[in-house]
């Protein structure tokens, strides 16, 4: 048995990546060890940048259907809140959607695109040979081997692929212990600050949010290192109750647990995102304390960045070095998220000696420039990929496509949805249109009145018309360079 790409892990990142690979024409088998999707949801928030991406893929309406949006979010539990109204993107808000629903919708999307999903199939071995990667898979029907050109580990923080691929996971050991309980409250009035609410005492932090009618998610964080080996021990309701009592100083009626879990602030980053035929994405490449709702969003960003590049390699048209830009672009993004989640956790520390820092930070959050910077950072909208130096610079280069409107938006999204690049070209730039003719099969052209933009299939801008003072000839040469750099050799037959 063989396929182009084996994606290991059917969490949100694996499902999204598999779909993106299919958009680019690659054959994909997705292995997921669980025989049924998990009913439990870790994540509940989709960030603004990812809402724009889902919209470009024609998926946003399914995601928003029946789910609430929210124009603000906290940073480290502080006031004032981050204000998303000024993000300047197409969907400047957060979407509250349970991870289980996100996975259900992404699985539907992946299946519709022709991904072969094998549930109950666990990767147990990996041989990265020169001409193929050979996966060993345990399945209900027995063990089998699966050959492929590439394997992508989307198999979570304890990634088997990462370990078998010999990639280090450098970072810190836990300094806090945290519990999660989706429970029924005997009396919501017993919670000192209600639901939703946060309570900080010298003993720790308690957060409570409503996850469905009658079910409250209780999250506790104690700023002491967990006992070695406790990470894999199941949580009991008594443990949650006694932790809540330690933090709040009172007994609170918690019953009928739907899900109990534990997590820590282990913060680690894969030393490399690629080793031979093995690549990593999502939690397999980076883990951090789940504050600010970023892990799933960060992983989906990996998937959208990697999918079209790896598909181009499989299809044989990838320009030299294209696949290497995956790690070069995405690892620094993860590094920033890891740093910023550490900042948030440090600010949340229950030790009263952190109070002056919190007070100062709250004053800073009231400054529009600071509030906006952190809003962009936590929503992924500050991501700017570093492009090779060109004949001129422009603020938009490397960034996500700015909001478009009307038919330009619709035509652009239709092309992105098909996994293609897009050249948005204003009237009068005939020389640019001629220069782009040889890439028509990979880059669709949309005529527009505004500035010219060249978008990769992940929606990032890699060329734009320059400001005044730059000769048109430079813009045309720059466009031809960008097309060759991101979309491979020109095909003269298409002229
Ligand atoms: C309490 C909490 C709240 C969170 N809230 C948010 C939030 O609001 N927003 C946000 O963006 N992020 C949030 N996160 C983080 C988010 O849940 C993760 O970042 C996200 O699940 C990572 O997705 P993934 O697909 O990379 O990995 P996972 O979701 O861990 O999926 C990995 C999959 O791989 C499978 N697998 C593992 N090993 C194998 C194998 N050997 N063979 C086959 N399959 C295998 C697993 O069964 C699993 O299905 C939160 C996390 C926690 C703990």
**Ligand 1 center–CA 152 separation, angstroms:** 15
**Ligand 1 center–CA 71 separation, angstroms:** 25
In a domain, 131, yes or no: yes
Percent of the residues in the chain that have a pLDDT greater than 70, as a whole number: 99
Domain boundary pick from 265, 287, 322: 265
Residue 245 is part of which domain span?
177-265
Return the pLDDT at 495. Answer: 40
Angstrom distance (rounded) from CA 477 to CA 470? 12
96 phi, psi to nearest 5 deg:
-95, 105
The DSSP element (H or E) to which 73 belongs, if any, is strand 72-75
Indicate if 250 and 233 belong to the same structural domain.
yes
The DSSP element (H or E) to which 348 belongs, if any, is helix 324-348
Contact between 466 and 474 (Cβ < 8 Å)? yes
* DSSP per residue, 56-68: HTT-HHHHHTT-E
Q: What are the tokens at 45?
A: 């928030």
351 phi, psi to nearest 5 deg:
-65, 125
Q: What is the mean pLDDT of the segment spanning 290-298?
A: 96
In a domain, 303, yes or no: yes
Residue nearest to atom 35 of ligand 1 (CA): 9
Return the pLDDT at 144. Answer: 98
Domain CATH code at residue 191: 3.30.70.2450
For residue 298, the ligand 1 atom closest to its alpha carbon is 11
Pocket test of ligand 1: the residue of 46, 151, 155, 162 to mutate, having most ligand atoms within 8 Å of its CB, is 155
**Ligand 1 center–CA 143 separation, angstroms:** 25
| Better pLDDT: 59 or 427 | 59
Angstrom distance (rounded) from CA 44 to CA 102? 9
Residue 464 has pLDDT above 50, yes or no: yes
Domain CATH code at residue 90: 3.50.50.60
Indicate if 305 and 419 belong to the same structural domain.
no
Angstrom distance (rounded) from CA 338 to CA 377? 12
Contacts of 239 (CB under 8 A, 6+ apart): 179
Give the closest residue to 307 by CA, choosing from 422, 115, 167, 458: 458
Return the pLDDT at 494. Answer: 45
Pocket test of ligand 1: the residue of 97, 163, 290, 337 to mutate, having most ligand atoms within 8 Å of its CB, is 290
Domain CATH code at residue 415: 3.40.30.120
Give the closest residue to 253 by CA, choosing from 188, 344, 339, 161: 188
For residue 282, the ligand 1 atom closest to its alpha carbon is 26
Residue nearest to atom 19 of ligand 1 (CA): 295
In a domain, 399, yes or no: no
**Ligand 1 center–CA 319 separation, angstroms:** 32
Pairing of strands 2-8, 28-32: parallel
pLDDT in tens, 358-400: 999 999 999 999 999 999 999 999 999 999 999 999 999 999 9
CA angle 229, 343, 93 (to 5 degrees): 105
**Ligand 1 center–CA 239 separation, angstroms:** 24
Residue nearest to atom 50 of ligand 1 (CA): 43
Indicate if 124 and 145 belong to the same structural domain.
yes
**Ligand 1 center–CA 156 separation, angstroms:** 5
pLDDT in tens, 222-242: 999 999 888 889 999 999 999
pLDDT band at 450 (very low <50, low <70, confident <90, very high): confident
Domain boundary pick from 218, 233, 265: 265
Give residues (CB < 6 A) around ligand 1. Answer: 8-14, 31-34, 42-45, 99, 122-123, 154-156, 160, 180, 263, 282-283, 290, 293-297, 299
Number of domains in the chain: 3
Indicate if 304 and 195 belong to the same structural domain.
no
In a domain, 385, yes or no: no
Indicate if 361 and 448 belong to the same structural domain.
no
Pocket test of ligand 1: the residue of 36, 38, 99 to mutate, having most ligand atoms within 8 Å of its CB, is 99
Show contacts of 420-424: CB within 8 Å, 24+ apart.
420/444, 420/457, 421/454, 421/455, 421/456, 421/457, 421/486, 421/487, 422/446, 422/453, 422/454, 422/455, 423/452, 423/453, 423/454, 423/455, 423/479, 424/448, 424/450, 424/451, 424/452, 424/453, 424/454, 424/455
pLDDT band at 492 (very low <50, low <70, confident <90, very high): low
């Amino acid at each position: 048995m063989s396929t182009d790409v084996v994606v290991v892990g059917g969490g949100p990142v694996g499902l999204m990546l598999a779909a993106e690979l299919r958009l680019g024409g690659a054959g994909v088998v997705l292995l997921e060890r669980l025989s049924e999707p998990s009913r439990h949801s870790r994540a509940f928030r989709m960030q603004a940048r990812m809402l724009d991406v889902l919209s470009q893929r024609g998926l946003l309406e399914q995601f928003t259907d029946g789910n609430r949006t929210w124009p603000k979010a906290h940073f480290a539990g502080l006031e004032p809140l981050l204000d998303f109204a000024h993000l300047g993107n197409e969907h400047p808000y957060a979407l509250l959607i349970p991870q289980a629903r996100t996975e259900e919708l992404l699985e539907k999307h992946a299946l519709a695109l022709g991904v072969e999903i094998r549930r109950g199939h666990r990767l147990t071995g990996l041989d990265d040979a020169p001409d193929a990667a050979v996966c060993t898979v345990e399945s209900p029907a027995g063990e089998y081997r699966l050959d492929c050109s590439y394997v992508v580990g989307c198999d979570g923080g304890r990634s088997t692929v990462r370990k078998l691929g010999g990639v280090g996971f450098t970072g810190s050991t836990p300094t806090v212990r945290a519990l999660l309980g989706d429970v029924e409250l005997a009396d919501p009035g017993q919670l000192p600050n209600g639901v939703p609410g946060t309570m900080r005492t010298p003993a720790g932090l308690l957060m409570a949010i409503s996850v469905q009618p009658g079910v409250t998610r209780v999250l506790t964080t104690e700023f002491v290192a967990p006992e070695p080996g406790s990470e894999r021990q199941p949580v009991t309701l008594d443990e949650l109750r006694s932790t809540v009592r330690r933090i709040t100083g009172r007994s609170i009626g918690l019953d009928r647990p739907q899900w109990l879990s534990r997590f820590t602030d282990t913060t680690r980053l894969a030393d490399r995102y690629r080793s031979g035929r093995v690549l990593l994405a999502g939690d397999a490449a980076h883990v951090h304390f789940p504050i600010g709702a970023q892990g799933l969003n960060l992983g989906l960003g990996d998937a959208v960045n990697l999918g079209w590049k790896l598909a181009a390699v499989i299809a044989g048209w990838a320009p030299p070095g294209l696949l290497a830009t995956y790690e070069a672009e995405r690892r620094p993004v993860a590094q920033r998220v890891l740093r910023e989640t550490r900042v948030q956790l440090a600010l949340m520390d229950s030790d009263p000696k952190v109070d002056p820092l919190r007070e100062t930070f709250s004053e800073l959050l009231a400054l529009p420039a600071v509030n906006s910077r952190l809003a962009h950072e936590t929503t992924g909208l500050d991501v700017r990929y570093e492009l090779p130096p060109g004949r001129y610079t422009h603020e938009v280069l490397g960034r996500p496509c700015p909001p478009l409107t009307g038919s330009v938006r619709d035509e652009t999204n239709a092309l992105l949805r098909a996994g293609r690049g897009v050249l948005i070209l204003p009237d009068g730039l005939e020389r640019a249109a001629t220069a782009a003719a040889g890439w028509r099969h990979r880059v669709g052209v949309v005529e527009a009145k505004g500035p010219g933009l060249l978008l990769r299939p992940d929606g990032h801008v890699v060329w734009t018309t320059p400001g005044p003072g730059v000769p048109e000839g430079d813009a045309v040469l720059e466009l031809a360079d960008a097309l060759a750099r991101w979309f491979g050799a020109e095909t003269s037959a298409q002229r």
